[in-house]
Structure formats: structure tokens, C-alpha cells
A and B are shown apart, each in its own frame.
Chain A
Amino acid sequence: MKNMSRIIGFTLALVLVLTSLGAVAFAAEGKRNIVIGLWWDKYYDSTHETLEDDPSYQGTISDQMRFDAVKKIEDKYDVTIEYINLTYVGTQESINTSVLAGTPDCDIYLVDTAIGVPAVMNGYALDMKEILPADSDIFTDKIIMNYLDLGNGGAYMLKPVAAQTQVEATYPLMFNLQMIQDANLEDPRVLYENGEWTWDKFLEYCQALTKDTNGDGIIDVYGFGGYEGEWFECMLMSNGTHVASDGIENFSSAEVTEVLQFMQDMYLKYNCAYPYAQESASDIMRYIYRDGKCAFSPGAAWILGANADYNWDGSAASTLEFDMVFVPWPVGPSGDQATNKMKLSNGEFYIIPVGVEDPELVYNVFYDFTDWYNGDVSIRDDAETLGWWYGITGKDLDIQDWNFEVMYECGLREQFDLVSSLSVFPDFTGFFNGDYTPAQFQETYKQEFQDALDTTFK
């Protein structure tokens, strides 16, 4: 056995030295091989010889363009590009060992927030602001590349831009347009445009729209109705705050107190929020708007789609008589309309690890590789792909387009916050019932958030 270890050690030494000098696995002679480590198979790279190497090849123009882009980049930069599937665990291990050792296995890593954030916190990722010119697309127009703002001033986690990834998982506020018109209230979109869409105004609207419509002494329509998950997330962002964006919980902060106070007041003080469902709240509270029982609700394409609200493509059995229109959330006392975030970050990102040779070259190769559509976003975001996103939220073309634009705008303003992914579940039902004051609520759950963060960032 001891002999085996020596043999392994010597062989590995040779292999590693050779591979370190000649890139990881694939490299044409004399060329640098830019290696992208990830945990599923992606196409195309320099190892692929035909379009059919991608098992999901469908003969589209975009397939051809993605395939051709590899050759163009090879010629432009005199490099080769290679995806290496490390597995998810292997990606974590590769970052934690090879980057720490100063010799990254890969030039670029695909990461999610669970891998990427600790990598950034541990100093394993390069800050593009220290690498790239200030007028780079990633810092200006963000047509091809964006980054996740971790609130530390750096640009570590790269995010290729695409309309679909931009609009998915966004939760704008939506309102019943006809209710607003019937009440002769100014359109919230106009208020937002004028910088007047604030929590106070929102509360004023919710109170005005809460009505006993048949005079029987029972409220029939409430100003607001929504599920705690997306409501709390969006209220946090609208107040310029968060709960779990770094290693220290912020659930106990004064800004979060403002959020909680506002949410609870809507129930207990102003009685302008639809009574919270004591069971199956996620289903029930996402359906209230559909029955015309509330004017405002957190919106999402998937919610309107799941409820089959609008017969936009002829497939739904019916269509709502009223329009649900998207608008950014009102601005809280600690928020700022110009800087408020509007979408919790999720999905996939890329990092360029510390220790990579010539990181600007690596970035430029990756940027061009990402821009296989030559800056023509109409190819990247082709209508067929996005048809559902455009159509699902309304029956009227103008409203469909408007809602899409709001979702897109939300997607451009990402907030990194693990509030909903730490498996901490505050008892909002009890909170809305008045079982806790905001301070008691924060005291009850702050340690759970901190413990979960300690686990995440360890």
C-alpha cells in the first residue's frame, strides 16, 4: 500500500504539473484553454465538432450561432474554450481547494448563490471592477452581462443577461385597474413615474379601496391581499433593506421593524388587508385578487398563469373581466425609488477565481462567448421563447407589454437576500393575528436566521 501511495504521489505530481502547464483537459497546441467549470453539460465549446454534439440540437438559427461563436472566439483570442462538468460537489471542492492553493482548476466557475456567495466572502472571486474599464457593458448598459450586487461594492458574480432569466421570479405589485378607475384614484403607475408612490400613498389607497359594497356591515373588498412570502420580500426591498445578505442577520434591524409594523398595521390598525388564511395560505392568498376581493396583490407571471386568468392564447377556459396591472412596489421610509431593489437574486452566476492568469482576457473571452448573438438581443430573446411571458398577464396587448416591461425592470434590480432560502419560517399567520408585536417577532426569529446564516457561510 505504501508503494501505491508513492506511485500515486509521483504520478499525480507529473500529471498535475503537466496539466497545470497545459490547461486542465483539452488544449490545442500552443493555445490557452479557457476552462469553465460547471455541474451539468453545456454546449458548445472547442471540443465539439458538429452541431449534433448537442443532444438537444434542434436546427435553429441560435444553435448555429452558438456553434459558430466558438470558432470566432478561438480565432479572435487564439484560445480554446472548454466546459468541464465537475459535479456540484466537485465545483465546491475545486473552488475551495485549488483557488485556495493559488492555482485554480478552472478559469471560470458556474456558481449558484450557495457556492458563489461563500466564495466571494472567502476572497476566492475576482472583483471585475478591479479588472475591467469603468465603461464596460457590465457596469453601464448591461446588455450582455450583469452582475449580482452583494452590497459590498464589488462585481464578483457575473450574470449573462437574457430577458427570460430577467423576468422570471419577479413579483411586482399588481392592482385591479378597474377598481382604481371606479374609485377615481390616480393610476399608481403615474404616481410611481412622479416619484409619489410611497407606503403612505399605498396605505391611503388600500384604505380607500376597502369597502362594504352591499351595506350589510361586512367588508367585501379589501385594499390588499397577498401571501406572506413574496409580500415580505418585496416590502423589504421597497424599504431598502434585507434580512440575510451577508453573515449577519438583519431581521432585527430598525428597517425591518418598519416593514413588519406596516404589514401588521394593515391588518390590526387599518383593517385594509384581506383576512389572512389560517391554513393553505400560499394557495388561498394568491387567489384573492381573482375573485375581485382585493385591489392590490403581489403579482407574478406564474401566479396569473397558474390561475389561468387571461385567455391570451385561446387555451384558457375563461378570462378575467378586469385587468391586473403591474407597478413597482411603493417606496418605504427607509427606501429610495432610485436605488430600491425589485427582485431577489436567484439562478446561475459565474465567477472568475483569484489566481487566474490574465483575468481580463478570460472575461473578454467569456463576454464574447456569452454574446453569441452578436449583440442582437432579438435573437437571444426571441419572441417565441418569450411569448408566454408577454401574454400570460393580460388580455390587452398594451397591458401585456406594460406588465412585461415592469417585470423586466424588476429583473434589472436584483437584491441578494437569502431570507426565503434559509428554511426559517416565521409565524406570519400569528403575527398578522397580533400574537406578536414586531419587536417580539424579531426577537423570536433573529437567532434562527443567524444560525442559518452561520451554517451557510461556514
Chain B
Amino acid sequence: MYKKLTVLLLCVALTLGLAGGIAYAADGSAPSIDFEDGLYGFVGLDMSAGNADASVLSVVDYLGSKALKVEVQKKVPYVIFEISALLGDDVAKLASVTMDIGIDNGADDKFYACSGRIYKYFGEENEKTYDEWSVYLASRNPNAAKMAMDDDEAFIAGAGNYIVLSKEVDNYATKTGDTPVSMYIDNVCFYDAEGNMLAVDTSAMFVPRETGTDLSNLCWLTGATAFEGFAKSAGAWSQDGLEMPQEIIDALVPGSGVQIEFSSESGDMWIVMPDSAAGWMRVGGCGNGNSYINNAKSIAQIPYELIAKFCGEDKSTWGARMQCEASGAWEVYSVSVGKLVPQITLSNTVEFEGFQKSAGAWSQDGLEMPQAIIDALVPGSVVEISYASETGDMWIVMPDSAAGWMRVGNDGSAICVDGKCYITYEMIEALCGADTSTWGARMQCEASGAWEVYSVRVGTKGEMAPLSNLVSFAGFETSAGAWSQDGLEMPQEIIDALVPGSVVTINFASEDGTMWIVMPDSAAGWMRVGGCGNGNAAVKDGISQIPYELIEQYCGADKTTWGARMQCEASSAWEVYSVAVGTAAE
């Protein structure tokens, strides 16, 4: 009897203590943010990670008061709190943050634990570290989360520092495959080092961040011509578009392609040529080939050759109009036509030390090539120039070439994309000759407008394969430490998709940028593919591609001997957001 009573009292005491911890502020003062004013303009989404979710943010009633709801759509929400704006100069005093985090039950009305991180971006360079939170029992939902600055960490006023709340483990979604549960945030408290609550301005506004364009599975589009006025939307299986202006017709040449920036409920997108002499024609979907579509399902590319395949080689027979269509309701924001160029990757890179130069239009400047650069200039290599120029172009000059003072790449053959210019060994060889000893001592840069070069390096050239017809490897979201493997048994659809010409594409992050696969059950032995001497995966911007042919080279021609599992691995701590198998462009 006494024992039960003691337990009861202990539980009550513990509960009240915990409840006190969950409540808005340890000292009883009002929290910095309680959402009762309905304002939440100081939060936004960080979409830079490959697994970032386009969550819907709102203030709702939750457990009898207002709270910020993060309605997760599919993946991992990263919610930015704009602390620099909320706190102003006081951000420099910020030592810790607490908040209450609650989660919804699953659709079956059962509780499933979740956990995540509170990332802190601090210092002049917005360095990143994190603390972790969890809501792990129904009786601890909501639960208090805390982020604290370590001794060597400090926010700086005016540096644009911020914090990000993520929900990275969702047991409901993991177990059922359904939409992850929603998250609620309330009673956010900001403290200085002495534990004093800091006041905030909740009218502060979130500052959208440049997160870059997702070019996974795509080619670079160079020399693009915009299809003016092409902003359309329609329902599923409905078409809409415009008559093609002459500049678009002119731009449609072999090697070119149509690029569509879009959103669609179904994630797919293709074009329709309704007036084609070959008949009303879909291209890039529905059995008529497949568009290249990025992982974000926001950009689609349809090569000229695919249009020609279905509409005929003579583009004058393609008809006057181009339309868009998808299998779900869709919206197209822009259409353009340009040259489709496979994205170039560099490996085994050698820096051209000291190559920081600038000059006016049509002026050259450069340096004598160090031996390391000369040694790196071999067949299959490429010169990469990081630059800016008024006119956007850039090329190199070999002023001392035995073949004469020589510009290389100024004829449009240099590939210039997003501040990088690529000139291959073969382009130099074609103009300066096969004997590199005759190329002369110096390499210079030049452009048709005033230019500045930030760095030059030479490396082995690789290409990212543009991919279509992606088959997702369901559930392949995992992480591990350096040189550790993790993965899954391959489902039948992945085995079926692994055919000659296919490519395994991995959306990942790793500390040193490496990522390859391991086939642990291969009859040829436990096998790494795409790294560690067993070939090289093509890696760029968090995407690693391993072609079927590379797997075949190390695991054998008969894929039935490749074993049941596919794993990922890197030479540093890594995280994989998704894996898919796609079809490479022919």
C-alpha cells in the first residue's frame, strides 16, 4: 500500500517536474515566441539538402493555444528560424534556445517516435553544428528540445546567422511508407549565457536563401533561348502551350533540347506537338521516350533527337505549336531551348597555383605552366576555369605555341556554365598539336568582355549521364561513418531496371564528397564499385552515378550473381537521401 502510494507520489512529482520543463520558460516569464500573435514570417524552409521537404507552415490551435505547424509533405523538413532578424544585435548574446516540439499520431492514431536536430549556423562563415531532439514516447509528446552554444561557438550580429529545426527520423513514415507526421513548435525561448530571456521582434521576416538549382539527372543547357510567354497550367492529361516563335524554331537543332521549369502533382512532364505532320504527338512521356527530370521534379529536358524520333527528322513538319502536359495537374513557369551538354566532372585535379588574374575585353593574362599542370594535361583531361566576365564567355590562349599564338575555345567550343569554363585537352591538341612540349610555356585566359579568373585547375574529365525513366530504390535513406557500408536488399523493380545502359544514381552528402556502392553478396566477392580502385563514380553536387557497365566489370556479366543487396559507402561519414536507377541517354 505504502509502496504504491510512494510510487504514485514519485510519479506525480516527476510528472510535474517534467511538465514544468515542458512549459514555456523555466523562470516563469513569457517565452520569446508563443505564436499567440499569429506571426510566423520569421520562419522559412531550407531547401538546400537533397532530402529537403517543401513543408507547409502555418499557425494553428494546438493543445489549447497557438503553435507553428509544420505539415510535412514527403521528406525531411528543415525549418529556418531567422534569429539574426528576430534578435537584432542581441543575437551575439544568444547562448541557448529551448522550444516545445509535438508530433501528430500516425494515420492509425498510434504514436510513433520522431527525432531530429537543431542546427546552428554561427560565426562569420556560418559554420554548422547541431544538437538533437526527440519525441520518443506518447507520454512525452510534446517534449522540450534544447540547443546550446559550445564554448568555441558564437553567433555574430550582422553575419546572417540562423538556426534550423529538422525532423530526420519519423518512425511512422519509416514503418508504413506513408506521409511523415506533422510537427508542432511552441514556446520558443532564447537565453543569454546567464539564463536571461532575450526579447524578440516577431515581425522580423525570413530571408530566402540561394540554394542553387537541382541539376540532378539533367544536362547543362547552354546558349539558351527563352520561349517568351510560356507560363501555363492545366489539369492532369490536359495540354496547353503556344505557337513557337521563330527564335525557338531556329534554336531547335541537333544537340539541342527543350528545358521546362515546372511543377506537377505527378512529378512528370513532357511536351505535345499537336500539329505535327506525323500526327498529334506526345514526346518525353507515355511511351514516346522519357524526359530527363531532376530529383526535385522541377526541371524537365527533352532532347531534339527525341522529338525528331517521333515527329520526323524535318523540323518544318513538326507543326506550329508546342504544348506541355503531365499525368497530374501541372504548372509550367518557363520554357527555353538551348544546347544540351552533359555536366562535366573533374577527378585527380591539379590546381594551377596562383592563377588569379583579370583583364579588359580581348586582353590576355596568365602564367607560366608549372610542371604539375603540364603533367596533368593528358588525353582525357580538361582545364576548368572559375571566372566572371561581362560577356559570359571565356577561353584560353597559348601564346607560345609552336603552332603559333593560339586561342582555344573562342569559337563557342568552350563549355561555359555558371561561372565555370571547360576546355578539353583534345581542343588544345587540335590547335596546338599532339606534342605537348610544343604548346609553349604559358597559358593565358581571355574573354570578349572585361574578365576576372579566380582559379584554374586541370583534371581527368568525366561526365554525368542525363537520366530518364528513374526507378526509385524504395526506402534507401541511410547514413554511416567513414568506410562503413549500409544498404538494402534490392527490390525486384531495381533488379529489373539494372540493364545495360542504366545508371545507379545516388543523392547523397559526405564529408569528403566521395560515394560509391558496395555489392556485398556478389559471387565475384565482396565488391566496391565506383571507388577505391574499382572504377570511379561520376560525382557532382551531391549526386554519384555508377553505370551498369561498371558494376558488370567488377561483379560479372550475369547480374543474377551480383547478390541480393546493394550498399553505399564513402571514405568519410556519409548520408544517402535516395537511390534510383535510371536510363542514360544514348
User: Chain A residues in contact with chain B, CB under 8 A?
Assistant: 1-5, 7-10, 12-13, 15-17, 19-21, 24-25, 41, 84-94, 97, 101-103, 105, 280, 282-283, 302, 305-308, 313, 315-317, 421
Contact = CB atoms under 8 A, between A and B. Distances in A.
Contacts of A13: 12, 15-16, 19
14 contacts: A1-B31, A1-B187, A3-B64, A7-B63, A12-B19, A16-B18, A85-B112, A86-B113, A89-B115, A89-B132, A90-B134, A90-B137, A101-B17, A102-B10
A84 B381 CA distance: 55
Nearest to B524: A308
A450 to B, nearest CB: 17
A10 B16 CA distance: 8
B42 interface: no
User: Range of interface residues on chain B?
Assistant: 35 or more
B573 to A, nearest CB: 9
A9 B140 CA distance: 11
Contacts of A280: 532-533
Contacts of A20: 7, 11, 14
Contacts of A84: 113, 137
Given A21-B8, A421-B481, 7 more contacts: A8-B22, A9-B22, A12-B19, A105-B137, A302-B526, A306-B525, A315-B561
Contact of A17 (B11, B65, B66, B135): B11
B138 A25 contact: yes
Interface string B60-71: 001111100000
A428 B335 CA distance: 57
Contacts of A306: 525-527
Contact of A24 (B22, B62, B139, B532): B139
Given A17-B12, A103-B10, A305 B134 contact: no
B10 to A, nearest CB: 7
A101 B14 contact: yes
Most buried by B among A1, A13, A101, A282: A1
A87 B114 contact: yes
Contacts of B137: 24-25, 84, 86, 90, 94, 105
A18 to B, nearest CB: 9
Most buried by A among B15, B34, B483: B15
B36 interface: yes
A8 B10 contact: no
Nearest to A280: B533
Contact of A1 (B12, B24, B111, B112): B24
A20 B138 CA distance: 12
A94 B133 CA distance: 11
Chief secondary structure at chain B's binding surface: mixed
Contact of B136 (A19, A86, A305, A317): A86
A305 B525 contact: yes
B23 A85 contact: no
Given A21-B7, A305-B526, A91 B64 contact: no
Given A1-B66, A8-B23, A90-B115, A315 B134 contact: no
Nearest to A313: B523
Contacts of B138: 15, 19, 25
A101 B11 CA distance: 10
B200 to A, nearest CB: 15
Contacts of A4: 62-65, 186
Interface in B11-66: 11-12, 14-20, 22-24, 30-31, 34, 36, 62-66
A317 B524 contact: yes
Contacts of B139: 12, 15-16, 19, 24
B132 to A, nearest CB: 4
A8 B63 contact: yes
B561 A5 contact: no
B524 A12 contact: no
Contacts of A15: 138-139
A9 B23 contact: yes
A94 B11 CA distance: 15
A15 to B, nearest CB: 5
Contacts of B187: 1, 5
Given A1-B187, A12-B18, A306-B527, A87 B8 contact: no
B15 A12 contact: yes
Contacts of B409: none
Nearest to A425: B482
A307 B532 contact: no
B175 A41 contact: yes
B169 interface: yes
A88 B478 CA distance: 13
Nearest to B3: A357
A423 to B, nearest CB: 8
Contacts of A315: 523-524, 561
B12 A88 contact: no
Contacts of B547: none
A1 B34 contact: yes
A307 B522 CA distance: 12
B112 to A, nearest CB: 7
B142 interface: yes
A85 B62 CA distance: 25
Most buried by A among B7, B138, B483, B526: B526
Most buried by A among B14, B16, B111: B14
Nearest to A309: B525
Given A7-B63, A280-B533, A315-B524, A89 B169 contact: yes
B171 interface: yes
Nearest to A13: B15
B454 to A, nearest CB: 29
Contacts of A2: 24
